[in-house]
Amino acid sequence: MADGAQLTSASATGDEKVVRAILDQGVDANSFSPDGFRPLGIAAFWGYSSIVQLLLDRGADINACNRGTNWTALHCATFQGHGKVIMLLMNHNPDLTIRDNLGRSAVDFASALDGIWPFFAAAGCKRTPKAELIQMDIVKKVEIGQEKIPNTDRAYFSRPGSAYIFKTPTMQGDRTQHSYQQQAALNNGDVLTASDPSPSSSCMDSPAFSVWRS
């Protein structure tokens, strides 16, 4: 019989048919993978809105957190800027006060991205000031003389002349073997969890972002 690991894997690859089949076998939509990921969070991170909806319809908890990072599905979708998924999740009344293990809410992540902030403004959220985002290590100031922003960094307050960028780590030099989709994540700076994916690791108390691995 299928299990949480297989459900999470299918959710990560966007295979809605397999996700549905696994759920039909009775696997809990709130199950974890061995690495501590929940299917809803993984689907939200990759922007698979139809799978997000399917998991919610099958009882996935909108406020359930991944182990280690304590990210909810809304954290995941907001970090990646997936507007369609954010809109879907917001329609299910998520708890906007949940913070990750570094004290950051989805509202904080959204505050750094003009493109998705309107979803949160419509919910009555107050935008986190730039100074606080810097303290939270969500954004960083571009150093004087820095000629080029790495292409793995997402634009922050992307108005012409802005001296700030959305902080995501440059994943250069990681020679670990990955699937096609995970390699694309490396190239684009898509990140999700700690560098040591084991939920039992003490490093998970304050993770450095790294690529999600199956």
Confidence tier at 185 by pLDDT (50, 70, 90): very low
Place of tokens 């809304």: 74
Confidence tier at 207 by pLDDT (50, 70, 90): very low
pLDDT, tens only, 81-104:
999 999 999 999 999 999 999 999
Taking the model in full, what pTM does it have?
0.71
Length in residues, the chain? 214
Confidence tier at 144 by pLDDT (50, 70, 90): low
pLDDT surpasses 80 at 210:
no
DSSP secondary structure, 109-155, as one string:
HHHT-TTTHHHHHTTTPPPPPHHHHHHTTSEEEPPTT-----TTSPB
Residues near 88 by beta carbon (within 8 Å), at least 6 away in sequence? 49, 52, 53, 56
Mean pLDDT of all residues in 180-195: 36
User: What structural domains and CATH numbers belong to the chain?
Assistant: 2-136 (1.25.40.20)
pLDDT score, position 145: 54
pLDDT surpasses 90 at 172:
no
Q: Which residues pair with 139 in a beta bridge?
A: 166
